Structures are given as structure tokens and as C-alpha cells.
Amino acid sequence: MDMAGKTVLITGSTDGVGRYVATRLAGEGAKVLIHGRDAARAKALIDEIVKAGHMAPTFYQADLSSMAGTRELAAVVTRDHQRLDVFVSNAGIGSQSDGPQRQESRDGHELRFAVNYLSGFLLAHLLLPLLKAGAPSRIVNVASLGQHPIDFDDVMITKGYSGSRAYAQSKLSQIMFTIDLAEELKGAGVTVNALHPATYMNTTMVRAGGITPISTVAQGGSAILHLVEGDDVAGSSGLFFNGMNEARANPQAYDSDARRRLRALSLSLTGLSS
């Protein structure tokens, strides 16, 4: 797909693999909408892109640990744009970000579930009118091979908490949502896919977890760009990819009853059910 003139929103794009994808797409002539919490990082990215001779991205500052912050981001993007060609849901926190202890979001939800999954779930739904206006358009959910089944009796992991379990549960939730939304959007011209971009990329998130990187940001970024613009996946939807290749997720992802329960819970927690 020729990305020149296409409008692309990438959450979590002032650092790491999101930054790489934003830079590459800006270089291809896309109208890039970057998101993050740190205005200084955003300015550095914008300056770098402009210095390279490309159109300056538009920066949207928002805290996705808050449902109100997520809704505000969707509102300002909707106010500023009539269509959206691609939405890359990339923002997230790792298993050890801000420490291994259990934390809650402003809305009282387990923090990793809120940031890594619920914010993207809410954003995708709120941005659907723009994505449908931009059809054929694409949603790319940046997930992980690290996946843990959801215990529906304790979704917020109040017992036996670990950061790695919380992270892995949030990533499986993204994949389950991907499958459901793809089914919902059949015939609408909007595809939805999820991927594990690369294992332990050289990112702030990985380093903060005390992990030695084994993949480059460019490797992960290339896998994301494949789903953003690859002609070979133009008609693909509801799939999970490991890097460049289609793969199988945790078995719970293919359990329709589990997906139904997650969907009902997510609609309730985000206020969309009302």
C-alpha cells in the first residue's frame, strides 16, 4: 500500500518500536499522528523527522492509564481528522515497568490490563467511524508471544499477582479482541490483526525489566510495518502473527465463550455498554 497522504495514528510512538514505525511512515509520506506522555520526547522525534525533510507529525499527549484520558485522545483525533487509514495500538507497559508490584489505574483496574488492553479496546471502538471513513483501512494491535489465560474469577489478579502474568494476560486479551473485532467488521473494509513484533527488542521497556535485548527495534518495526502496509495481508483479518508469519496464539484466544465473557466485561469497564 502506498502510504503517501495516508493518516496513521500510532499510540506509544515517542519511544521504542513505535518511534521507529512513526519515523519510517513519515519518510514514506504518511500523515503521522504520534502519541505519548512525554512532550520532550515527542519534540525530539518531530525535529528529527522535519530535519530529514518530511512532514512534521502531529503530537497528541494523553495518559492511557485513564479511561477519561483515552476518551479525550479519541475526541481530539476525531475533531482534527475526517478519516483514519491505519490505527496502530502500540502503547503499553512491560512486566516490570514501575516495579513488579501490583498497581491500579486511575479507574481502579489492574494497571497492565488497563493500559495494554482496555485503552486500545476503547480507542478502537471510538475511532471506528474514522476508520470506516478511511476504508480500506487497518487496525494493528501490538501484542506478544507472552500470553496467559484469563481467570474470569479474578481478572484483575488480586491473588497470586505477578507482573509477568499481568502483562501476558493483557496481551492475550488484545489477541482475543482482535479476533472478535475482525468478525464484527466483516464487510466494513476495516481489517484487524495482532502480532508479536520481535522477542526482547532493544527498547526502554525491555531494559527496564533487566532483560538483555536479543532483537533490534528495526526487526520489530518491520513486522509492524508489514501489517500496516503489506499488500499480501490486505485481505487478512482476525489473525495473529509472530514477526512476519501467521501463528497460533494461546488456545483461549479461540474459545468463543471466553471471548464473549471478555467482550462483555470490557464493554462494561470502558462504559461502552451504556
Please give the domain boundaries of the chain with CATH numbers for all domains: 7-270 (3.40.50.720)
Q: What b-and-e string marks burial along 212-241, b requiring 16 or more CB atoms within 10 Å of the CB?
A: eeebebebbbbbbbbbbbeeebeebbbbbb
Asked whether the beta carbons of 13 and 19 are under 8 A apart, the reply is yes
Distance CA 38, CA 232 (A): 35
Give the pLDDT of residue 213: 77
Among 20, 167, 200, 254, the active-site one is: 167
Give the pLDDT of residue 209: 66
Give the pLDDT of residue 99: 66
* Composition of the chain by helix, strand, coil, percent to 5: 45, 15, 40
Distance CA 61, CA 84 (A): 18
pLDDT by residue, tens only, the chain of 274 residues: 899 999 999 999 999 999 999 999 999 999 999 999 999 999 999 999 999 999 999 999 999 999 999 999 999 999 999 999 999 999 999 877 666 789 999 999 999 999 999 999 999 999 999 999 999 999 999 999 999 999 999 999 999 999 999 999 999 999 999 999 999 999 999 999 999 999 878 777 666 667 777 789 999 999 999 999 999 999 999 999 999 999 999 999 999 999 999 999 999 999 998 6
Asked whether the beta carbons of 51 and 131 are under 8 A apart, the reply is no
Task: Please give the grid coordinates belonging to residue 105.
Answer: 489505574
Whether 20 is catalytic:
no
